[in-house]
């Protein structure tokens, strides 16, 4: 064999070895750190031996302080209620930020807030079917909440404006806010001319009032640098927003008063990129205050996770046996030492990642269970029956609703229990 052939053969043999060495999982794992040990002790003391959604009040306060420091001085703050779906949680955020502005996305939530937080000023975050708006009025019991003044209904098309005009003849005066397509392409008005026509249609109806704009730009945080990045996307979003404000000024003439209009934009992932020059006058933020994993983004780098799922370990086994594949137990473990142990937990299969103790992983062959989910870990994972596993939710708006009351953790203790929003009427 000549030298060239020998080198080729060596390369052919080495390649799979190198591939295996690169792909073979490394053993890892450990114990809860002091933070999670203290949280575990607090849950035990509070008698919460079941899946529990924990809000860390100090960490929430940290995020509120960051928001306060970063929010441009001439922008008001609106709480995105769906992302913090609990009245006491919304109240805590309102108190800290000194705001009465809420963004709401679900008719039963609208009824709940109108009934139990009657000083709230609500802007709909999506265009409700006119039938849902009608249902709001049917379900609402008269109280201090003044619906015609305190709700801005979001409209996205001339048809929707016409439907709300018909509704207003029965429900009384309605304030309408126009959804703008500032680049997200999730609907809304797309040109300044469409905006002019929408404002004219609203002004032509004596029972309707034009209340402003909502331009959501969630796409901006995801635009790669090669396509202009977050700054480029926000600049073009705000350029169109500015055109729409100018169109409103021209259409309304002397009646135009920017102070009295709701000019909404923003979201958790973009708010930090705004400055005073932006043509909006308020920013809506929710998720970033509790920071689920979907919000581990550069714009929220100074925010900290403030929400965790805690659940007890029901069973801890020193092996991982897959039904029907018992004979492969040793092989699986030889390949991945992080399958050495098995933990069955109370509940599971949430939109969430296990974060403590470190080293826990799902088993793709075994699958999932919402009743007793399986987690695997190496011999280094320090976890036994009765200990807790902690997860970080991916998002808040849906996951927070799956556990009953939120457990509020403050200075080493569970101090309060906060009910979450109901998903159906009966507020």
Ligand X SMILES: Cc1ncc(COP(=O)(O)O)c(C=O)c1O
Question: Is 308 a residue that touches ligand X (CB under 6 A)?
Answer: no
Task: Quote the CA–CA distance of 198 and 223 in Å, as a whole number.
Answer: 30
Place of tokens 């928001």: 67
Q: Classify 187 as helix, strand or coil.
A: coil
d(CA 192, CA 189): 8
Single residue of 29, 108, 212, 267 touching ligand X by CB under 6 A? 267
Kindly tell me which of 120 and 374 has the beta carbon lying closer to ligand X.
120
Report the distance separating Cα 105 and Cα 79, nearest Å. Answer: 12
Restricted to residues 362-421, the positions that interact with ligand X (CB under 6 A) are: none
Give the range of 24-32, 203-211, 278-286, 373-381 binding ligand X by CB under 6 A.
278-286
272 in contact with ligand X (CB under 6 A): no
Specify the stretch interacting with ligand X by CB under 6 A; choose among 67-75, 129-137, 281-289, 323-331.
281-289
382 within 8 A of 357, measured Cβ to Cβ: yes
Residues 6+ apart with CB under 8 A from 162: 201
The piece of 136-144, 285-293, 320-328, 379-387 that touches ligand X (CB under 6 A) is: 285-293
Q: Is 216 a residue that touches ligand X (CB under 6 A)?
A: yes
Q: Interior CA angle at 297 toward 294 and 299, to 5°?
A: 130
Which of residues 241 and 346 has its CB atom nearest to ligand X in the complex?
Answer: 241
Residues 97-126 that bind ligand X (CB under 6 A): 103, 125
What single DSSP character describes residue 297?
S
Please state the closest distance from residue 180 (CB atom) to ligand X, in A: 11
Residue indicated by tokens 């690169």: 22
Stretch that binds ligand X, among 3-11, 19-27, 144-152, 282-290 (CB under 6 A): 282-290
342 touches ligand X by CB under 6 A: no
- Which of 268, 361 has the CB closer to ligand X? 268
Residue 176: phi and psi, rounded to 5, are: -115, 130
Q: Judged by CB under 6 A, which of 54, 67, 80, 155 binds ligand X?
A: 80
Shortest distance, CB of residue 344 to ligand X, whole angstroms? 33
Beta strands at 341-346 and 307-317: parallel, antiparallel or unpaired: antiparallel
- When binding is defined by CB under 6 A, the residue of 150, 211, 287, 307 that contacts ligand X is 287
Place of tokens 């929400």: 307
Closer residue to ligand X (CB): 64 or 374: 64
Contact status, residue 171 vs residue 146, Cβ threshold 8 Å: no
In this complex, which beta carbon is closest to ligand X, that of residue 183 or of residue 286? 286
Q: What b/e sequence results for 313-325 when a residue is b if at least 16 CB atoms lie within 10 Å of its CB, and e otherwise? A: beebeeebebeee
Residues interacting with ligand X, by CB under 6 A? 80, 83, 103, 125, 216, 267-268, 284-288
């Amino acid at each position: 064999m000549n030298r060239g052939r020998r080198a080729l053969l060596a390369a052919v043999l080495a390649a799979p070895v190198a591939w295996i060495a690169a792909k073979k999982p490394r053993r890892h794992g450990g114990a809860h750190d002091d933070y999670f040990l203290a949280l575990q002790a607090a849950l035990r003391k509070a008698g919460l031996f079941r899946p529990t959604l924990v809000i860390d009040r100090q960490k929430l306060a940290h995020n509120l302080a960051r928001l306060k420091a970063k929010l441009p001085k001439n922008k008001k703050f609106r709480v995105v209620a769906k992302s913090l779906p609990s009245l006491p949680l919304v109240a805590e955020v309102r108190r800290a930020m000194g705001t009465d502005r809420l963004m709401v996305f679900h008719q039963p939530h609208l009824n709940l807030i109108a009934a139990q937080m009657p000083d709230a000023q609500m802007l709909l975050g999506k265009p409700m079917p006119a039938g849902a708006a009608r249902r709001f009025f049917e379900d609402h019991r008269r109280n201090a909440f003044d619906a015609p003044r305190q709700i801005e209904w979001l409209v996205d098309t001339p048809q929707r404006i016409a439907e709300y005009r018909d509704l207003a003849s029965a429900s009384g005066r309605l304030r309408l806010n126009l959804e703008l397509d500032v680049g997200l392409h999730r609907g809304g008005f797309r040109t300044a001319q469409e905006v002019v026509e929408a404002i004219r249609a609203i002004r032509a109806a004596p029972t309707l009032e034009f209340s402003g704009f909502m331009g959501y730009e969630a796409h901006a945080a995801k635009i790669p640098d090669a396509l202009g990045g977050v700054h480029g996307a926000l600049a073009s979003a705000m350029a169109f927003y500015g055109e729409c404000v100018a169109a409103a000024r021209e259409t309304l003439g002397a009646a135009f008063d920017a102070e009295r209009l709701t000019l909404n934009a923003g979201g958790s992932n973009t708010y930090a990129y705004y400055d005073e020059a932006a043509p909006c006058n308020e920013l809506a933020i929710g998720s970033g205050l509790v920071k689920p994993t979907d919000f581990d983004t550069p714009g929220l780098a100074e925010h900290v996770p403030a929400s965790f799922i805690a659940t007890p370990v029901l069973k801890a086994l020193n092996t991982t046996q897959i039904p029907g594949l018992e004979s492969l137990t040793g092989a699986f473990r030889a390949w991945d030492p992080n399958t050495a142990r098995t933990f069955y937990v109370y509940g599971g299969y949430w939109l969430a990642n296990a974060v403590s103790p470190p080293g826990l992983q799902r088993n793709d062959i075994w699958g999932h269970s919402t009743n007793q989910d399986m987690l695997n870990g190496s011999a280094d994972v320090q976890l036994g029956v009765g200990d807790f596993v902690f997860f970080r939710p991916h998002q808040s708006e849906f996951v927070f609703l799956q556990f009953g009351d939120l457990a509020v953790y403050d200075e080493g203790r569970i101090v309060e229990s906060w009910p979450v929003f109901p998903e159906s009427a009966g507020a």
